[in-house]
Structure 1
Amino acid sequence: MDVSPLHGIAPFSAERRAMRILLVDDNEAMVELSATFLERELDDVETETYTEPGPALDELTDGEYDCVVSDYDMPGMDGLELLTAARERGIDLPFVLFTGKGSEEIASRAISAGVDEYLQKGGPEEYPVLANKVSNLVEKYWAETHMRRGFLAIESAEEGIGIIDDEGVYQYLNEAYAALYDRDRAELIGEHWDVLYPADEARRFHDEILPQLEAEGSWRGFSTGVTKGGEAVPERLVLTQMDDGGHVCIVQELTEVDALRAEVELKDRVLDAVGVGVVVTDPSLPDNPVVYANEAFETLTGYDAESVTGRNCRFLYGPETDPETVAAIRAAADAGEPISTEIRIYDAGGEPVRARLDSHPIRDDDGAVEFVVGFYRPADVDGAGDAFSS
């Protein structure tokens, strides 16, 4: 299953808001100066300042921030202890240690504690550097947060979602995807997609679905997979190609209504394959208009479904169409009876076509005619009867 670009898809979050930075330093003048410089250097930023680590930790727990900038040497709790306490509370924000006490020992401890950036205080020239580090950390934090949210949404989705590489091998799938086929996802990662389809359905993917997918970038429709135990899985499938040649699959087990549609689609494909044009009309509507036409009908007549929907089938008749045959067809439709006959119709280019028509009423549970289905196929030239006489 090779699959098309995800053009135009928005990221998990298009939110753009002010960066919220918490600054902690027991020197009030220094922490206010840092806040002033960050607000000057960065666009759309909000700062909150604290001179005591304890209250700052409580604020981090209750508030919504994107980054912490903390001094190291503070009474009661130093900057690394503040980081450790924050992590213990599940606060995983970017953390910058901005200290006037630089040493190899402190730098080593900061790295071991998981500080995201370590920067020594200096003159005003240090603040653009601080602002740049904060900005980069926040952008990365936002991107990772949005990606995490998207991944959690995929993991918890009821629909099966999988990613297949350009070789047709599963690189990822959620639990719902594997469960649909009564498998564990560990069994499927690294396997080719065709392990989930019987041989005839796999051929259909190669012969019909994948060429359309490659040409149009996406495909949606019905297919039939198979469980580990060999049971059929009627499914609704959506495929979207990616830039690297792989593709995203979204799969759902069919409801009863979907299963009926899938059955109709299968029968329609069979009729298309044998060249039988199908037209469905609705006698409950004024003038008994066409409500459906298949591809084989277009091949036979040159009229596609869009151009015939809403029209009475008389548009197929021309000057040499036998009026008695037309009257017999109309009488059968009015009486809700089947009819089989040969008739001269005209294609979209005005050329005559000798066709065999088999028309059958479709009744509801009460016996009333709901639809009339007409099957058109080319008539045997030698078998043409009076209906084709000039």
Structure 2
Amino acid sequence: MSLERPISVACVDDYAELCDLTAEGLEATSCRLQTTAITDPSSVTDRLAEFDCIVSDYEMPGIDGLELLRQVRVLDDDIPFILFTSEGSENVASDAISLGVTDYITKSGGSERFTRLAHRIESVVDAQRATEQVERTREQATEAIRTERARFRALIEHSPATVCLLDDTGTFQYVSPSMEEVTGFVPRELRGESAFDRVHAEDRERVEREFAKSLSNPDYRPTVEYRFRHKSGDWRYIESRGANRLDDPDIEGFVVNSRDISERRETERRLRRERDLTDRILEVSPAPLLLMERDGHIRRANDRAAEVFGMERQELIGLSPAEPSVTFRNADGESIADGEYLWEVVAGAGTAMQGVDCEASLPSGDFWLTVSASPMSGEDRTLVVVSVDDIGPL
């Protein structure tokens, strides 16, 4: 998901002309910003789902900026809320911070105030979207692993994103509190240190190269995986996404969002090992073996299975009863109803069946079979191992 996609902004100010001026100024500054001018603060909470960010004036009758912030935070803890104050109204900052304001910016200056505000909106919304993308990626990876291999359970239950700010030398200027969950170090222990000092020696040059590339080309946003030494001494795999905002006057730093992917890397290693083990078992078994999905698709087959069916191995893989050239019948030659195929019964019941007689028609010919089947061990029983105990032509 690109962080460059449009951002929907609610501009809230009871003074219609100033409200329109802010909305127009933001859209003129950044083509990413799509603004909606709102002069009635009481209508904002009913429309929160429409916006990625809220920019509100402070001094408004009835519902001022702080009260609007309080009402918004009751409904949504995460949506960025920027208080766009008049000159001299910074005295509300402490109250705003306690209520969960994202930032407050003064209205002083000419058109550059819209540049500052637009940059800040992009920064906070991009950070929020990056955090959401981390969670979506975690869920997608977990689901993919669960589908591919039944015995794996979800390993990535919580993967908090950290936010760091580096200078142009790669030195930590700011470290979010969540960094302790990932590295074991509290922020003060990392501030002032080089971000590369604890990167594994074999990964350091690659990480520094990606950092340098983004320094020379601010539009380049690197994503890099590397090993980082935890405070305990262990090596943790980290995925970091960077954005060069050194020229942004509101940030003046290199923003890095990171997460611990050590469990994901270990899961991938285990998945590769299990795949290799399955392949080896298929190859060394003297019996014809098929690995079938619940819908009857043949996912894998060993050479012995291809031999007894008179087909090439790659021709056998992928066949299913959905194809006109493939049919399975019971021992009396009668059609089998949906839901009663051997692999469906075994997968649904989660128990093995042995010595089942049936008939099969494949592109290579018609056969009588005696087969046994067993579900893959684990929580997901969508895969079934079928062993051909005996076979002959019809």
Band of TM-score, shorter chain: 0.3 to 0.5
Return the TM-score normalized by structure 2: 0.42
Q: Structure 1-normalised TM-score?
A: 0.43
Report which structure shows greater RCO (CA 8 Å, sep ≥6). Answer: 1
